[in-house]
Amino acid sequence: MADPLIIKICGIKTPELLETTIAAGADMVGFMHFSRSPRHVSIDQLGDLISLARGRIETCVVLVNPDNSCVAEVAALGPDWIQLHGPETPHRAEAIKAEAGVEIMKALPIGTAEDVAHVADFLDVVDRVLLDAKPPKGADRPGGLGDTFDWALLKALDPSIPFMLSGGLTPLTVADAIRTVRPAGVDVSSGVESAPGVKDKRLIEAFIRNARAAV
């Protein structure tokens, strides 16, 4: 039997939405610690949210090209995962994993066959890869921009590689994505929002319900 689908709701900012996400049956919750994001939460807020979630749902803090002091500050809060969502190299990802002492997920932007080929570079140094849409040229932040990528590119990926799928997923598209791509998990942020950074309880519930029904 296949492993159960992992569902991650990313960009949660409040205790109320954390409770909604847990009650709806998500497996992971993501918190953005990146000041340019409309989903940014401070270190103090992060600490409170991670404490509230501990033992109830896996927590993942999303960082973009963090320096060592940022990694240490976040790792001290005890999240289950740190997600690297910047231009980190395999070497840097390995160093962060060693320093943080928590599991590392690396988001990799996919736009071309070459991008798919580079996924293999990270498999031995991180615990999980997340394949996301490549942001448009000139974008001021990676990910969370609501775009999908050409899933057909993933046919070139070794089918034994487990990965999470992100990029433009919504309650309406997630079932098709799961059946087409067969990811180990799905990750959503902007697809369950009514405005940038504003999560919608009903969309979170519908996303999880539709994802579970597709498996």
Which domains, ranges and CATH numbers included, belong to the chain? 6-214 (3.20.20.70)
pLDDT tens-place string over residues 34-93? 999 999 999 999 999 999 999 999 999 999 999 999 999 999 999 999 999 999 999 999
3 pLDDT tier (thresholds 50, 70, 90): confident
Output the average pLDDT for the chain: 93
Residue at token pair 């999303």: 62
* Residues 119, 129 contacting (CB under 8 angstroms): yes
Q: Is 42 helix (H, G, I), strand (E, B) or coil?
A: coil
CB atoms within 10 A of CB 16: 11
pLDDT tens-place string over residues 164-194? 999 999 999 999 999 999 999 999 999 999 9
